[in-house]
Structure 1
Amino acid sequence: MRSIGEMARDSGLSVSALRFYDNAGVLLPAWVDPVSGYRWYEPGQLEEARLLACLRRTGMPLADIRLVLAGWSNAEPDLVRGLLQAHLRRLERGLADARSEFSTLRATIDHRENPMASSTAAVLELSVPAPELAAALDAVRFAAGTDPELPMLGGVLFDIEGEHLHLVATDRYRMAVARTSALGYGGPRTQVVVPLPLADAMRALLTGSESVRIAVDGDRVRLEAGDRQAGGQSLGSDFPDYRRLVHLPAGRQARIDTAAFREALRTGPVRAGESREQDDEPCDVSVLRVTENGRVTVCDDGDDDQNSVAVNREFLLHTLTAGARDELILELGAPTAPLAIRRPGDESGFSILMPVRLSD
């Protein structure tokens, strides 16, 4: 095991940076002394920490760093290359140091052995209750990406394992996960990314109460609902390792009345025109804080509580709507950690929003 000081010395990250990335849920120590709070890291985490140090020097946003590390750990070079290229195109000319770091990263990726092969089975069929699949698609659709430079995020991941089908969508700044039951498939875990137009066509067929069939044949995916069907080519399985991304540090939880909280967001104070780590586009930001009595409040502009979490208001409103529950649970961690929105009594479905870094 490496101490935090040794990890800092060998990785190029400072001790304070390692603490920051731990609190943000990006690079978690393997063990924390329960008495002293001292952090310890496994030897295998050094390579990841060095990669993180490289990404940090290029100025990559924290949301993209999460996906790069997830793709790196899951041996998805195309995903990692896509993220690097997207960030490189956004950098201004003359950033020679950043270009040098990207060159180093590309060389490292090119020499990495045993890239993950596609996990899509040749032929696969399963049965899913139509109402459950409809609800799952509704719960994740809003979070899908639309960036043409990252086509692998422009769809919904269908992750089939055992008796469950997980649906996942993310645009790097928000992610939604939902689960349905599945019958008729007993093979290995299989993943396929359904492009958004096809996912929408599938959703249009889910009007009954009976089960529907999903078939995957190579790079083709099809949904059959009685005598109607929707099918097309998948985006493959080059998708971020979402299971890693949802391992967040525990935060402060608060149960909210969804309708009342949505109204508080709509009418509450906002910080207009703030820049977020989302291509530096301006957005209306709501700053949230959990009070001592367990309530979530929308803070005034003058409230500078260090434990407050800033979020894109529009994204949060979309998430509350997709939650489709009268009550939801908000989980707020450190100001740099994602905000989680969970459904009471349902651990399988939730959404995550990246925080907004407020302008100084």
Structure 2
Amino acid sequence: MRSIGEMARDSGLGVSALRFYDGAGVLVPAWVDPVSGYRWYGPEQLEEARLLARLRRAGMPLPDVRLVLASWSGADTDLVRKLLTAHLRRLEQGLSEARSEFSALRVLVDHRENSMTSLRSATVRLTVAAPGLAAALDSVRFAASADPELPMLGGVLFDIEGESLHVVTTDRYRMAVARARTAGHDGSRVQVIVPTALADAMRALLDVSGPVRLRVDGARVALEAGSGEAAGQCLDHDFPDYRRLLPQVVGRRALVEVAAFRQALGAGRARSGEAGARDLSVLRVEDGGTVTLCTEGSEEPDRVALDRGFLLDALTAGARDQLILELGTPTAPIAIRRPDDENTFSILMPVRLED
């Protein structure tokens, strides 16, 4: 007999997924302890669980999954083949329709790209305090993307407007924003994407106390600090409109002691998420403003699951002994803010837990 934890480990299905399929009558444990309610599975159920995991990853609807497992146990391979063929046909049809929609979308994108005035063709000269720019870059560097399929995210956005320089990074699953005060710019908005390597070279020049000079000449950007300079070409892409990605509704807020919270995250048991997801931590903010780590099997309605590594990175980048966590619904992004600086924050996308 296998415990539910052993079955999860050996089959590729999460513990919560096994509970779900038990409740749905798809994969019922061989025995349930009448006192503790703990589930136990027979040796012959491992093959069915592994089959179920594959069907789940293939996106087969639950009614068809039921028939496949029922036919599998009855050795009716002919029906199994027909169900698999039918599902594959649906997937292929869906892919064909998706290709058609994406072709239409590309036409719309090309038209919009040609009709928009670029924010990347201006000339800018400004000064910024070295400590402020250094702190801003340190706050956002962790969220820069390294995905070669999305080169427009492989750098740091410098968004210059008025007396503000916002630096922004995102890899789709997290985003970080920080602001530094500037002087010498006329106020018109200019955006350039500084490659990550160049942004790192700029950061290396900022261990000084006075102001530094930033120049943008169309597709070229340079930072002068004392006798040093870091310069290079900007990325020839448009960065997503990060302002539209900011959380619009503030949910529950909690002030956390970062050191204690990091320790609790390290000691807490990781959860499983969708296929391929890393270790997760599941959080909930109580009405009194206290953050709790939900335990395995917890079913609180307001729980939010986050990539544990991403959360720890954001806490480090926050660079404060205390930080504010804002949690909304389980599907809404979580914001991590500094109590003393509303212009520097990070956002983490939640991860769906296994059913």
* Same-fold status (TM-score > 0.5): yes
- 1:146, distance to aligned residue in structure 2 (A): 0.8
Matched, 1:153 2:161: no
Residue 215 of structure 2 contacts residue 222 of structure 2 at CA under 8 Å; is this kept in 1?
yes
Residue 127 of structure 2 contacts residue 212 of structure 2 at CA under 8 Å; is this kept in 1?
yes
* Other-structure match for 1:215: 215
Residue 269 of structure 1 contacts residue 299 of structure 1 at CA under 8 Å; is this kept in 2?
no
Matched, 1:183 2:183: yes
- Distance (whole Å) between structure 2 residues aligned to residue 257 and residue 344 of structure 1: 12
- 1:115, distance to aligned residue in structure 2 (A): 3.1
- Distance (whole Å) between structure 2 residues aligned to residue 161 and residue 187 of structure 1: 5
Note the 1:222-241 alignment, pairs <5 A: 222-236=222-236, 238-241=238-241
* Other-structure match for 1:355: 350
Q: SS of the counterpart of 1:97?
A: helix
- Distance change (3 Å), C-alpha of 1:318 and 1:248: same
Please say which structure displays the higher CA radius of gyration. Answer: 2
- Distance change (3 Å), C-alpha of 1:110 and 1:238: closer
Q: Which runs of 5+ in 2 are unaligned?
A: 1-58, 60-90
- Distance (whole Å) between structure 1 residues aligned to residue 152 and residue 316 of structure 2: 25
- Distance (whole Å) between structure 2 residues aligned to residue 209 and residue 286 of structure 1: 39
- 1:107, distance to aligned residue in structure 2 (A): 3.2
- 1:208, distance to aligned residue in structure 2 (A): 0.8
* Other-structure match for 2:315: 320
RMSD over aligned Cα, in angstroms? Answer: 1.8
C-alpha deviations, 1:260-289, integer Å up to 9, x for none? Answer: 1111111112114x22xxxx5320011000
- Distance change (3 Å), C-alpha of 1:345 and 1:148: same
- 1:121, distance to aligned residue in structure 2 (A): 4.3
Letter in 1 for 2:310: F
Residue 333 of structure 2 contacts residue 348 of structure 2 at CA under 8 Å; is this kept in 1?
yes
* Other-structure match for 2:69: none
**Number of aligned pairs?**
265
Q: SS of the counterpart of 2:249?
A: coil
Q: SS of the counterpart of 1:283?
A: coil
- Distance (whole Å) between structure 2 residues aligned to residue 112 and residue 120 of structure 1: 16
- Distance (whole Å) between structure 1 residues aligned to residue 220 and residue 98 of structure 2: 39
Residue 270 of structure 1 contacts residue 284 of structure 1 at CA under 8 Å; is this kept in 2?
yes
Residue 327 of structure 1 contacts residue 343 of structure 1 at CA under 8 Å; is this kept in 2?
yes
* Other-structure match for 2:330: 335
Deviates more, 1:242-251 or 1:106-115: 106-115
- Distance change (3 Å), C-alpha of 1:110 and 1:181: closer
Letter in 1 for 2:182: A
Letter in 1 for 2:245: L
* Other-structure match for 1:308: 303
Residue 118 of structure 1 contacts residue 237 of structure 1 at CA under 8 Å; is this kept in 2?
no
- Distance (whole Å) between structure 1 residues aligned to residue 188 and residue 121 of structure 2: 8
C-alpha deviations, 1:10-39, integer Å up to 9, x for none? Answer: xxxxxxxxxxxxxxxxxxxxxxxxxxxxxx
Q: SS of the counterpart of 1:148?
A: coil
* Other-structure match for 2:288: 293
Deviates more, 1:148-157 or 1:280-289: 280-289
- 1:306, distance to aligned residue in structure 2 (A): 1.3
C-alpha deviations, 1:235-254, integer Å up to 9, x for none? Answer: 14600111111142221000
- Distance change (3 Å), C-alpha of 1:342 and 1:113: closer
- 1:122, distance to aligned residue in structure 2 (A): 3.5
Letter in 1 for 2:207: T
Q: Percentage identity across aligned positions?
A: 62
- Distance (whole Å) between structure 1 residues aligned to residue 137 and residue 92 of structure 2: 41
- Distance (whole Å) between structure 2 residues aligned to residue 200 and residue 230 of structure 1: 9
* Other-structure match for 2:53: none
Q: SS of the counterpart of 1:282?
A: coil
Q: Which runs of 5+ in 1 are unaligned?
A: 1-58, 60-91
Deviates more, 1:94-103 or 1:337-346: 94-103
- 1:114, distance to aligned residue in structure 2 (A): 5.5
Deviates more, 1:204-213 or 1:246-255: 246-255
* Other-structure match for 2:166: 166
* Other-structure match for 1:130: 130
Residue 157 of structure 1 contacts residue 239 of structure 1 at CA under 8 Å; is this kept in 2?
yes
- Distance (whole Å) between structure 2 residues aligned to residue 304 and residue 224 of structure 1: 54
Letter in 1 for 2:277: P
- 1:111, distance to aligned residue in structure 2 (A): 4.3
- 1:116, distance to aligned residue in structure 2 (A): 2.2
* Other-structure match for 1:99: 99
Q: SS of the counterpart of 2:165?
A: strand
- Distance (whole Å) between structure 2 residues aligned to residue 151 and residue 237 of structure 1: 8
